[in-house]
Structure 1
Amino acid sequence: MTELNLEQIRNFRLHSHHLDAFYTKEDLIAAAGACGMQNSPPGAWETALYNRIPSCSQEDMNHFLYQERCLLQAWSLRGAPVVFPEEESDVFLSALIPQEDEPWIYTHGISLALDFLQMSFEELLPMLKQVMPRLNGKTIVTKSALDQTLAEWMLPLLPEEKKTLWNHPSMYGSPDKQTVGGAVVSFLLRPCAFDGLVVFGAREGISPTFTSYNAWTGHPLGNQGEGAKKLVRKFLHCYGPATPASFEGWLGCSGKQARRMWKAVSEEMEPVKAVGKNAWILSEDKACLMSPKPLQRELLLLGGHDPYLDQRDRSLLQPDKSLHKQIWKMVANPGTVVYRGEIIGIWTSTKKSRGMEMKITLWNGFQDKEKISVLAEEYADFRQQKLIGIEF
Structure 2
Amino acid sequence: MLEVDREQVLAHRIAAHGLHRDETDPNTLAVFDLGLQNTQRDTAALSLAARVADEVTEESMVDDPRFVLAWTHRGAPHFHRRDELPAVTSALVPLDETDAMNRMLFQRRMVEAAGVGALDGLFATARAIREVVHEPMTKGAVSTAITKIIPSGLSAWCRGCQATHVSEQVMRLAAVHGGTRLEAGASPATLAPLEGSPPMRTEPDPAAATAVVVAYLRLHGPATPTEAAGFVGTTATVAKRMWPDGLTEVRVDGRKAFLPTGDVPALENPPEPGVVRLLPPWDPFLQARDRGLLVPDKARQKEIWKIIGNPGALLVHGEVAGTWRTKAAGRKRLDFTFHPFWTLRPAVKREVEAEAERVAAVRGFPELRVAWTG
Task: With the length of structure 1 as denominator, give the TM-score of the two structures.
Answer: 0.84
Distance 2:199 2:123 in 1: 18
The aligned residue for residue 220 of structure 2 is 239
Q: Within 5 Å, which residues of 2 pair with 1:333-348?
A: 333-348=310-325
Q: Is contact 1:75-1:82 (8 Å) kept?
A: yes
Q: Is contact 1:90-1:222 (8 Å) kept?
A: no
TM-fit CA distance, 1:29: 4.3
Kindly indicate whether residue 166 of structure 2 is the aligned counterpart of residue 189 of structure 1. Answer: no
1:360 pairs with 327, 338, 342, which one?
338
Identify the range of structure 1 (42-51 vs 91-100) with the bigger mean alpha-carbon deviation. Answer: 91-100
Residues 136 and 87 of structure 1, relative CA distance in 2, 3 Å threshold: same
TM-fit CA distance, 1:270: 1.4
TM-fit CA distance, 1:31: 4.2
Distance 2:179 2:236 in 1: 26
Distance 2:232 2:122 in 1: 21
The aligned residue for residue 292 of structure 2 is 315
The aligned residue for residue 258 of structure 2 is 280
Distance 1:189 1:339 in 2: 39
Q: Which runs of 4+ in 1 moved over 6 A?
A: 221-225
The aligned residue for residue 144 of structure 2 is 148
Distance 2:109 2:144 in 1: 19
The aligned residue for residue 78 of structure 1 is 74
The aligned residue for residue 5 of structure 2 is 5
Q: Within 5 Å, which residues of 2 pair with 1:198-217?
A: 198-204=180-186, 206-213=187-194, 217=195
The aligned residue for residue 30 of structure 1 is 29
Residues 334 and 54 of structure 1, relative CA distance in 2, 3 Å threshold: farther
Q: Tell me which amino acid in the other structure corresponds to 2:159.
A: G
Q: Is contact 2:221-2:259 (8 Å) kept?
A: yes
Q: Is contact 1:90-1:227 (8 Å) kept?
A: no
The aligned residue for residue 128 of structure 1 is 125
Q: Is contact 2:126-2:178 (8 Å) kept?
A: no
Name the SS of the counterpart of 1:60 in structure 2. Answer: coil
TM-fit CA distance, 1:226: 3.3
Distance 1:17 1:253 in 2: 24
Q: How large is the Cα RMSD of the aligned pairs?
A: 2.6
Distance 2:234 2:242 in 1: 11
Residues 183 and 6 of structure 1, relative CA distance in 2, 3 Å threshold: same
Q: Is contact 1:33-1:88 (8 Å) kept?
A: no
Partner deviation per Cα, 1:74-99 (whole Å, 9 max, x = no partner) = 11112211111122224432212112
Q: Is contact 2:74-2:231 (8 Å) kept?
A: yes
Q: Is contact 1:48-1:302 (8 Å) kept?
A: yes
Q: Is contact 2:57-2:361 (8 Å) kept?
A: no
The aligned residue for residue 259 of structure 1 is 240
Distance 1:209 1:252 in 2: 24
Q: Tell me which amino acid in the other structure corresponds to 1:2.
A: L
* Between structures 1 and 2, the one with greater strand share: 2
* Between structures 1 and 2, the one with greater helix share: 1
Identify the range of structure 1 (286-295 vs 120-129) with the bigger mean alpha-carbon deviation. Answer: 120-129
Distance 2:144 2:158 in 1: 14
Distance 1:349 1:84 in 2: 27
1:384 pairs with 332, 345, 364, which one?
364
The aligned residue for residue 230 of structure 1 is 211
Q: Is contact 2:71-2:172 (8 Å) kept?
A: yes
1:331 pairs with 288, 308, 331, which one?
308
TM-fit CA distance, 1:137: 3.1
Residues 29 and 92 of structure 1, relative CA distance in 2, 3 Å threshold: farther
The aligned residue for residue 62 of structure 1 is 62
Residues 118 and 285 of structure 1, relative CA distance in 2, 3 Å threshold: closer
1:99 pairs with 95, 99, 107, which one?
95
TM-fit CA distance, 1:118: 5.3
Partner deviation per Cα, 1:33-71 (whole Å, 9 max, x = no partner) = 13211111332212111211242333332211xxx2x21
Identity of aligned residues (%): 24
Q: Is contact 1:317-1:341 (8 Å) kept?
A: no
Unaligned runs of 5+ in 2: none
Distance 1:122 1:303 in 2: 34
Q: Within 5 Å, which residues of 2 pair with 1:297-308?
A: 298-308=275-285
Q: Is contact 2:276-2:314 (8 Å) kept?
A: yes
Q: Is contact 1:9-1:241 (8 Å) kept?
A: yes
Name the SS of the counterpart of 1:58 in structure 2. Answer: coil
The aligned residue for residue 21 of structure 2 is 21
Residues 312 and 145 of structure 1, relative CA distance in 2, 3 Å threshold: same
Residues 10 and 126 of structure 1, relative CA distance in 2, 3 Å threshold: closer
Distance 2:92 2:321 in 1: 34
Name the SS of the counterpart of 1:218 in structure 2. Answer: coil
Name the SS of the counterpart of 2:325 in structure 1. Answer: strand
Residues 130 and 2 of structure 1, relative CA distance in 2, 3 Å threshold: closer
Q: Is contact 1:192-1:198 (8 Å) kept?
A: no
The aligned residue for residue 107 of structure 2 is 109
Aligned residues, how many? 363
TM-fit CA distance, 1:135: 4.1
